[in-house]
Amino acid sequence: MSASEKANEPFLITTAISYPNGAPHIGHAYEVIATDAIARFHRLDGRDVLFTTGTDEHGLKIQQTAAKAGVTPRAFVDDMAGRFKAVADRLDCTYDRFIRTTEADHYAAAQELWRRMEAKGDIYLAKYAGWYSVRDEAYYDEAETVLGPDGGRRSIKTDTPVEWMEEENYLFRLSKYQEPLLKLYAEQPDFLGPETRMNEVASFVRSGLKDLSMSRTTFDWGVPVPDHPGHVMYVWVDALTNYLTVTGFPDPAAPNARFWPASLHIIGKDIVRFHAVYWPAFLMSAGLPLPKRIFGHGFFLSRGEKISKSLGNVVDPLDLVGTYGVDPVRYFLLREAPFGGDGNYDHEVIINRINADLANDLGNLAQRSLSMIAKNCEGMVPEPGTFTEADERLLAAAAALPDKTRGLMQNLALHAILAEIWAVVGEANRYFASEEPWKLRKSDPARMNTVLYVTVETLRRVGLMVQPFVPTAGAALLDLLAVPVDRRSFAFTGEEHRLRGGTPLPAPAPIFPRFEKPEAMA
């Protein structure tokens, strides 16, 4: 939630839409998992959430890749979109719509946005020439390119080959929006995060904006420009509009119309300029409200190297999940790197995280306390006696989690939320070890009951808070604590919803098994 937002407003949260010209990789997985965790958090906190993700299916690159594969662009994207959707499903992502830019309602939205910008006088026909990168679907200035070792020119920023292109196409008066954009950044500093990205974008805009090429005539795999046969929209114009399409734009009476303006666009750091410069400029031109916030997350690298097909280190998210399980992969990706910074992906680090944080700290504590209850308390939540200072301290630490995590969520500090939750888990482990309930069984069973009670009530609150991040394990833990499914939102974290002594509990079962390295990986 941005500072300017109220807790009861509808909350549209989106991922970037992926290019389906290659298979889904760990970067795509990271983005959709993080966005899902944020969406789940707000839903559990009682907000009206619309969460969308999808595929960006037009452009020359897709047309060329399909041609190479010997199929039509349509058949190609149909197949690939299914693969991206399957990954989001397998990662337990609770998107409300998987939007594909080849869908009919998206064409209608993109064409209407175009018409409004044109009606405003912001779109004009001109001859455009420049160094064009097919990979980036973008033109570069000569100064933004260098001669590569093969004698061909490349973009300095993205290291992709560029070729000289000249076409007559439509341009957007981006230059007109330089001042309004700078005003936006100044008045709404949380429009774009993290702060470093805002500084980069503001200085890019300050250095001067040139009008933007908006249509292509050299290929036809795109959304037709309305009333101008032979032109298709520049793929970014069409792609950005997906965020409006999902709200039913342009129909003000559409069921999802209340979700515009979007609350949060989650994107990677490489596409910040498109979202924080072009997108608000298009919307200003069309007279539409601007998204409240954009956040550019970092990149996941494989042992410090960029993930790329040529380096042969592309990680298939389905393989990763097959090896480690969905919740461990979600936990690892969100815990490993500060959201906004880059992360390193490494098998050893994943295994350590799974075994230390999940299996030992949380899994073992649940297993030990719940098996003691099964054996010594007739399988029911024990009745606590008077709380000691140590009991109160642990319960208070757990009770502070919802407010602490809400605060951190405002800054999208997902890794810090997990660190806070696991700090309480650590505290609970120290408490359990120092209270030694297994010794109290004979010497002071009433005190044993209290210690076990405090431990499982702490686990209940932890269980509620981990749901956005590790949904299956969170649900399993709450099942073991007999917390009814309709009492799992953050409204139930409070004291008055504590576990009740005498509630029968199911037989304990492990929630996070240890990861044992198969021979082949050792």
Question: Which run of H or E residues covers position 475?
Answer: helix 471-480
- Show the binding pattern over residues 451-490: x = contacts ligand ME8 (CB under 6 A), - = does not: ----------------------------------------
| Cα–Cα distance measured from residue 184 to residue 431, given in angstroms and rounded to the nearest whole number | 50
Q: Is residue 345 a contact point for ligand ME8 (CB under 6 A)?
A: no
Residue choice 1, 12, 16, 351 for contact with ligand ME8 (CB under 6 A) = 16
Nearer to ligand ME8, 239 or 448 (CB): 239
Exposed, middle or buried, 93 (CB in 10 Å: 0-12/13-18/19+)? buried
Binding residues for ligand ME8 restricted to 302-321, rule: CB under 6 A: 307
Interacting span for ligand ME8 (CB under 6 A) from 28-36, 218-226, 281-289, 478-486: 28-36
Nearer to ligand ME8, 267 or 421 (CB): 267
Nearer to ligand ME8, 182 or 271 (CB): 271
Nearer to ligand ME8, 18 or 133 (CB): 18
| Cα–Cα distance measured from residue 31 to residue 54, given in angstroms and rounded to the nearest whole number | 12
Contacts of residue 494, Cβ cutoff 8 Å, sequence gap at least 6:
399
Which token pair is 441? 């069984």
Q: Rounded to the nearest whole angstrom, what is the least distance from the CB of residue 307 to ligand ME8 in the complex?
A: 5
- Show the binding pattern over residues 239-278: x = contacts ligand ME8 (CB under 6 A), - = does not: xx-x------------------------xx-xx-------
Name the pairing type of β-strands 123-133 and 97-100. unpaired
- The DSSP annotation for 259-273 comes to GPSPSEEEEEGGGHH
How many residues belong to the site for ligand ME8 (CB under 6 A)? 19
Query: Is 53:89 a contact under the CB 8 Å cutoff?
Result: no
Exposed, middle or buried, 55 (CB in 10 Å: 0-12/13-18/19+)? buried
Interacting span for ligand ME8 (CB under 6 A) from 1-9, 13-21, 204-212, 281-289: 13-21
Nearer to ligand ME8, 300 or 331 (CB): 300
Nearer to ligand ME8, 313 or 360 (CB): 313
Rg of the chain (C-alpha set): 26
Residue choice 28, 154, 353, 447 for contact with ligand ME8 (CB under 6 A) = 28
| Cα–Cα distance measured from residue 72 to residue 63, given in angstroms and rounded to the nearest whole number | 8
Residue choice 1, 11, 13, 30 for contact with ligand ME8 (CB under 6 A) = 30
Q: Is residue 18 a contact point for ligand ME8 (CB under 6 A)?
A: yes
Nearer to ligand ME8, 69 or 380 (CB): 69
Q: Rounded to the nearest whole angstrom, what is the least distance from the CB of residue 47 to ligand ME8 in the complex?
A: 23
Q: Is residue 300 a contact point for ligand ME8 (CB under 6 A)?
A: yes
The closest alpha carbon to 58, from 27, 103, 24, 89, belongs to: 103
Q: Rounded to the nearest whole angstrom, what is the least distance from the CB of residue 53 to ligand ME8 in the complex?
A: 10
Q: Residue with structure tokens 């946005």? A: 113
Q: Rounded to the nearest whole angstrom, what is the least distance from the CB of residue 267 to ligand ME8 in the complex?
A: 4
- Cβ-based neighbour number of residue 454 at 10 Å: 27
Which token pair is 306? 């960029």
Residue choice 1, 11, 12, 31 for contact with ligand ME8 (CB under 6 A) = 31
22: three-class secondary structure by DSSP: coil
Nearer to ligand ME8, 334 or 448 (CB): 334
- Cβ-based neighbour number of residue 311 at 10 Å: 10
Q: Rounded to the nearest whole angstrom, what is the least distance from the CB of residue 27 to ligand ME8 in the complex?
A: 2
Q: Rounded to the nearest whole angstrom, what is the least distance from the CB of residue 321 to ligand ME8 in the complex?
A: 17
Q: Burial code of 416-432, b = ≥16 C-beta within 10 A, e = fewer?
A: bbbebbbebbbebbebb
Residue choice 1, 11, 12, 27 for contact with ligand ME8 (CB under 6 A) = 27
The closest alpha carbon to 292, from 314, 275, 310, belongs to: 275
Q: Rounded to the nearest whole angstrom, what is the least distance from the CB of residue 185 to ligand ME8 in the complex?
A: 20
The closest alpha carbon to 292, from 128, 142, 176, 410, belongs to: 410
Contacts of residue 438, Cβ cutoff 8 Å, sequence gap at least 6:
372
Interacting span for ligand ME8 (CB under 6 A) from 15-23, 205-213, 370-378, 387-395: 15-23
Query: Is 279:291 a contact under the CB 8 Å cutoff?
Result: yes
Binding residues for ligand ME8 restricted to 180-239, rule: CB under 6 A: 239
| Cα–Cα distance measured from residue 155 to residue 163, given in angstroms and rounded to the nearest whole number | 10
Nearer to ligand ME8, 36 or 420 (CB): 36
Nearer to ligand ME8, 296 or 468 (CB): 296
Residue choice 36, 56, 190, 391 for contact with ligand ME8 (CB under 6 A) = 56
Contacts of residue 182, Cβ cutoff 8 Å, sequence gap at least 6:
202, 205, 206
Interacting span for ligand ME8 (CB under 6 A) from 14-22, 60-68, 116-124, 146-154: 14-22
| Cα–Cα distance measured from residue 342 to residue 303, given in angstroms and rounded to the nearest whole number | 11
* Nearest-CB residue for ligand ME8: 268
Find the largest Cα–Cα distance for the chain.
89
Q: Rounded to the nearest whole angstrom, what is the least distance from the CB of residue 88 to ligand ME8 in the complex?
A: 12
Question: Which run of H or E residues covers position 373?
Answer: helix 365-376
Q: Rounded to the nearest whole angstrom, what is the least distance from the CB of residue 158 to ligand ME8 in the complex?
A: 11
Which token pair is 510? 């492990």
Query: Is 457:498 a contact under the CB 8 Å cutoff?
Result: yes
Q: Rounded to the nearest whole angstrom, what is the least distance from the CB of residue 80 to ligand ME8 in the complex?
A: 11
Contact residues for ligand ME8, defined by CB under 6 A: 16-19, 27-28, 30-31, 56, 239-240, 242, 267-268, 270-271, 299-300, 307
